[in-house]
Amino acid sequence: MQKKMTAAEPFELNRGSVEYYQNPTMYDFDFKKYAPDKKFYSNMALSLGGPILEIGCGSGRLMLDWIKKGIQVKGIDLSEDMLKTAEKKLIRAGKKYANLWSLEQGDMISWSDGNKYNLIVSAFNTMMHIYTFEDMDLFLDNIKRNLGTEGTFIFDILNPDFRWFLRDPEKRWSRTRFKHPLHGCWYYYTTNHYYDAEEQISYVYIYHEPVNEGDGPDYTMRLAHRFYYPQEMSYILKRHGFILDSVLGGFDGSALDMFSTSQVYICSL
């Protein structure tokens, strides 16, 4: 956690944007209603079958759904906190699913277990935590090591949004009032960011401030996202030998255009 600041500015990058993922309760609270990708990944898992490897499985949002469909899945994540939450949820799902899942702490840049998976998923912008081309090369080499010959690799990342990049980093945006799931009192959420156009990295600040000063701690979390443009990502994938089966602009199968929120890639080798 960082002391509150006003103008968003670049900060030292660390693997995994750890600050943001140290608080899984807050992550689950923020995204409890986020569901546009669930049906899509669920359908893909059902039609392609397992075993699935989820890279950046977080607090188990998608894994839970897959095991309930009887599909074998292994989740890896860098964050111990996110993994602990995922483990609790998966255990709570019941003993009948116990042999369908496993979790491992690992860095997606270097992790590989030598096994072959029929489906590898990296969902909800996880690959935007790969900040350099060198790391992307290492990451994709590991995907190739773990992908079965008939396997499919699916991931989604945000589509660059120029209106969002241009938001004034000196202002606070998206002010929202919420009841804090850990502190039990009312808070304001605000955010701002600095987009470094040369690095294509957005340095995001998320501010949590109690409505009534002193009711709870006032803190800031930082998160860095590397944006990949569609042509750039397609080029990288092809250079690594991937076949692009589909490039979509959303989980409803829509075409990618300048208004698409996400880029969804379905690839094979």
Ligand X SMILES: C[S@@+](CC[C@H](N)C(=O)[O-])C[C@H]1O[C@@H](n2cnc3c(N)ncnc32)[C@H](O)[C@@H]1O
Distance in Å, CB of 215 to ligand X, minimum: 28
DSSP 2-50: B---SS-------GGGGGGGG-HHHHHHHTTT--TTHHHHHHHHHHH-S
Closest CA to 169 of 3, 2, 5, 7: 7
Minimum CB distance to ligand X, residue 170 (Å): 26
Strand partners, 207: 190, 220
The residue at minimum Cβ distance from ligand X is 58
Smallest gap from Cβ 201 to ligand X, in A, equals 14
Q: Which of 201, 216 has the CB closer to ligand X?
A: 201
The set of residues, in sequence order, having a beta carbon less than 8 Å from that of 223 and lying 6+ positions away, is 17, 19, 20, 204, 206
Is the Cβ of residue 16 or residue 250 nearer to ligand X in the bound state? 16
Minimum distance, C-beta of residue 31 to ligand X, in the bound complex (Å): 6
CB atoms within 10 A of CB 123: 22
List residues near ligand X by CB under 6 A.
Answer: 15-16, 21, 56-58, 61-62, 77-79, 82, 107-109, 123-126, 129
Take residue 111 and report the two structure tokens written for it: 């992790």
Residue number, 30 or 218, with CB nearest to ligand X: 30
Please, what is the minimum distance in Å from the beta carbon of residue 18 to ligand X?
7
Rounded-to-integer distance, Cα 36 and Cα 215, Å: 34
Q: What are phi and psi of 134, to 5 degrees?
A: -60, -45
Q: Which is nearer to ligand X, 109 or 143 (CB)?
A: 109
In this complex, which beta carbon is closest to ligand X, that of residue 8 or of residue 108?
Answer: 108
Q: Are strands 117-122 and 52-55 parallel, antiparallel or unpaired?
A: parallel
